[in-house]
Amino acid sequence: MPSSLDALNHWVDAVARLTTPDAIHWCDGSEEENAMLAARMRDSGDFIALNPETHPGCHLHRSSPSDVARVEHLTFICTRDPEDAGPNNHWMAPDEAHAKMDALFAGCMRGRTLYVIPYCMGPIGAPNARCGVEITDSPYVVANMRLMTRMGAAALARIEREGHFVKGLHSTGELDPDRRFIMHFPEELAIQSYGSGYGGNALLGKKCHALRIGSWQARQEGWLAEHMLIVGIENPQGETHYVAAAFPSACGKTNLAMLIPPERYRRAGWKVWTVGDDICWMTPGPDGRLWAINPEAGYFGVAPGTGKGTNPNALAMLDRDTIFTNVGVTADGQPWWEGLDDGTPAKDWQGRDFDPANGPAAHANARFTVSAKQCPSWSPRAEDPQGVPISAIVFGGRRPSLVPLVIEARDWTHGVLVGAAMGSETTAAATGAVGVLRRDSMAMKPFCGYNFADYFTHWLSFDKAGAKLPKIFHVNWFRKGADGRFTWPGFGENLRVLEWIVGRCAGTRSARETPIGLLPRAADLDVEGLDLAASDLAMLLDVDLAGWQDELAGIGEYLETFGPRLPAALRREQQRVAAALDEETRPRARAATG
């Protein structure tokens, strides 16, 4: 009787014939294997051992200066029908993509070892976990995948039981930017990546599988694969509400996932539990609620800006068994990046003697890879096969004006509109232009593996008889006053907003109705001890009707870019909110002219 691993063995054989490696190594995820690979990389220079007294088990990896970030313009969704990929993705025909990639992969592993990495996204025993196998010629990828996924023998056993898996093929190639592509074949549940060793391009379990292929699987199977953190908020009564939250980059996502309550809240008994910092898979449960797992087992976080003042929980987990990529190093071999309070860099991320004239010591996208269990706020529920029940879904962006501190959507359809319309405004330092709004629906623009219009339809489909869906909110920590400074203090003080959110979910907090949703009154938020003027709080909770009329018009124009596949219900909801704003402004206009 054929083994259920026959398909895997045949695929590995076919890849080996194409790539012609010198050896094949099946990864088991063991400590012994990890130690062997680390030693091999130290010998080759791919790993640099850091100070064993201050950072035992920690290594530094320096990547090619031309290979330091995701390459969205070289990332493709390869579906038979280009409309299935949608205007939110770069598309290439599958036959063309396979031909291009086969030519790149031909003979590319000559002189190298081919590593076979069986992995599981999600707890091994979770019904909603999904398995994959990544073939790579990079031991750095193996070491990172061991931290980021449930990798090795247990995953292989699950693949053998289930008989199916996502196929990922990766080679660093020559690290030539002109020979670099990341191809996704959702109809084949396959990924191919060539020419990059950077995490988002090379750790195929992460964005490629967990979001691009995962979102396609989720639509086929009736669940959601989202670019969201998962955090548990425990109140003094011992009740924990779990919140899933989506933010574009530079909006405090990891800080929120590992939030430390303000001292007064800690004394009262509030606790925050980290289930995940980046990706959330949500499935309707028998009780009608959405239950979420974190498909990842580790964090691949941005190092610069992580410090005692911004994210002490993140900093506390990085003193052992961590892989650092493209950070600086002190004279005594400790990792260093901008945002740390201690130490002085001796070498920069390229290995040069540190000179401020060459730029920062750490690359702006320098990373750390670490097991999630090392986080002080890690929740044991992260390994619960059933997952955690989601009380609230929170969207957020960086909006210096207009958008209030927090808004509750009136219902699920309105919440989908709120998520679809979310975005952040750019700054001059980042783009050369101030106030340019970039829409990033559900923070999934770079990661949704199919047409956004179909994605919105899928979201709307969860509102059905018997569903007990989470409430949906939008937050904005980044509103600025006339002085150009952030008005809300942010960081741990964001728990004050989360307190209102979970209170709304529990039915214990009040709100006022506005055309754009439900907002707290000033008295509904606990601001005791904050240096926040009453006028500033009023500004944070104000609804600028004229400004929102323009905003809704812009949202309507954005939605129309998705063409005839856009669900009519979403268009009607945008029109409903726009009409409510118009209705609200008419009496004021009459009063002003009377």
* Residue 93 within any structural domain of the chain: yes
| DSSP H/E element including 418 | helix 412-421
Quote the pLDDT of residue 251: 85
* Residues 204 and 232 both lie in one domain: no
CA pair distance 89, 279, nearest whole angstrom? 19
CA pair distance 93, 95, nearest whole angstrom? 6
Quote the pLDDT of residue 29: 97
The tens-digit pLDDT sequence of the chain (594 residues) is 346 799 999 999 999 999 999 999 999 999 999 999 999 999 999 999 999 999 999 999 999 999 998 899 999 999 999 999 999 999 999 999 999 999 999 999 999 999 999 999 999 999 999 999 999 999 999 999 999 999 999 999 999 999 999 999 999 999 999 999 999 999 999 999 999 999 989 999 999 999 999 999 999 999 999 999 999 999 999 999 999 999 987 788 999 999 999 999 999 999 999 999 999 999 999 999 999 999 999 999 999 999 998 999 999 999 999 999 999 999 999 999 999 989 999 999 999 999 999 999 999 999 999 999 999 999 999 999 999 999 999 999 999 999 999 999 999 999 999 999 998 886 433 334 556 889 999 999 999 999 999 999 999 999 999 999 999 999 999 999 999 999 999 999 999 999 999 999 999 999 999 999 999 999 999 999 999 999 999 999 999 999 999 999 999 999 999 999 999 999 999 999 999 999 999 876 666 655
* Residues 393 and 425 both lie in one domain: yes
* Residue 154 within any structural domain of the chain: yes
Tell me the residue type at 400: P
* Residues 329 and 385 both lie in one domain: no
CATH number of domain containing 418: 3.90.228.20
* Residues 125 and 14 both lie in one domain: yes
- Asked which of 348, 374, 400 is the last residue of a domain, the reply is 374
CA pair distance 283, 87, nearest whole angstrom? 27
DSSP, res 471: E
CATH number of domain containing 181: 3.40.449.10
Residue 420's φ and ψ, nearest 5 degrees, are -65, -30
* Residues 268 and 305 both lie in one domain: no
Which tokens go with 395? 């969207």
- Show the beta-strand stretches assigned E in 160-297: 166-171, 181-185, 190-194, 224-226, 229-234, 240-246, 271-276, 280-284, 290-293
* Residues 332 and 448 both lie in one domain: no
**Percent of the chain surpassing pLDDT 90:** 93
- Asked which of 185, 202, 222 is the last residue of a domain, the reply is 222
* Residues 189 and 282 both lie in one domain: no
Which tokens go with 490? 């942010």
Residue 194 CB contacts under 8 Å (≥ 6 apart), including other chains: 101, 104, 105, 108, 170, 171, 173, 179, 180, 181, 182
Quote the pLDDT of residue 436: 81
Which tokens go with 114? 């081919």
Tell me the residue type at 97: A
- Asked which of 316, 348, 374 is the last residue of a domain, the reply is 374
Mean pLDDT value across the chain? 95
* Residue 67 within any structural domain of the chain: no
* Residues 16 and 104 both lie in one domain: yes
* Residue 425 within any structural domain of the chain: yes
Quote the pLDDT of residue 430: 39
Give the CA distances from residue 315 to residues 254, 309, 511, in Å, rounded to whole numbers and listed in that order.
12, 10, 37
Are the beta carbons of 129 and 143 closer than 8 angstroms? no
Quote the pLDDT of residue 554: 97
* Residue 346 within any structural domain of the chain: yes
Tell me the residue type at 241: H
Quote the pLDDT of residue 431: 36
CATH number of domain containing 364: 2.170.8.10
pLDDT in tens, 200-222: 899 999 999 999 999 999 999 99
251 as an active site residue: the answer is yes
* Residues 108 and 203 both lie in one domain: yes
* Residue 55 within any structural domain of the chain: no
Residue 71's φ and ψ, nearest 5 degrees, are -120, 85
* Residue 59 within any structural domain of the chain: no
Range of the structural domain that residue 176 is part of: 6-47+74-222
* Residues 545 and 556 both lie in one domain: yes
> For the chain, what is the domain count?
3
According to DSSP H, which parts of 177-213 are helical? 199-202
Let me know how long the chain is: 594
CA pair distance 267, 118, nearest whole angstrom? 45
Task: Record the pTM.
Answer: 0.96
CA pair distance 144, 577, nearest whole angstrom? 46
Radius of gyration of the chain (CA): 24
* Residues 206 and 241 both lie in one domain: no
The active-site residue out of 27, 108, 120, 251 is 251
* Residue 215 within any structural domain of the chain: yes
CA pair distance 225, 221, nearest whole angstrom? 11
Which tokens go with 486? 């952030």
* Residues 398 and 485 both lie in one domain: yes
DSSP tally for the chain: helices H, then strands E: 18, 30
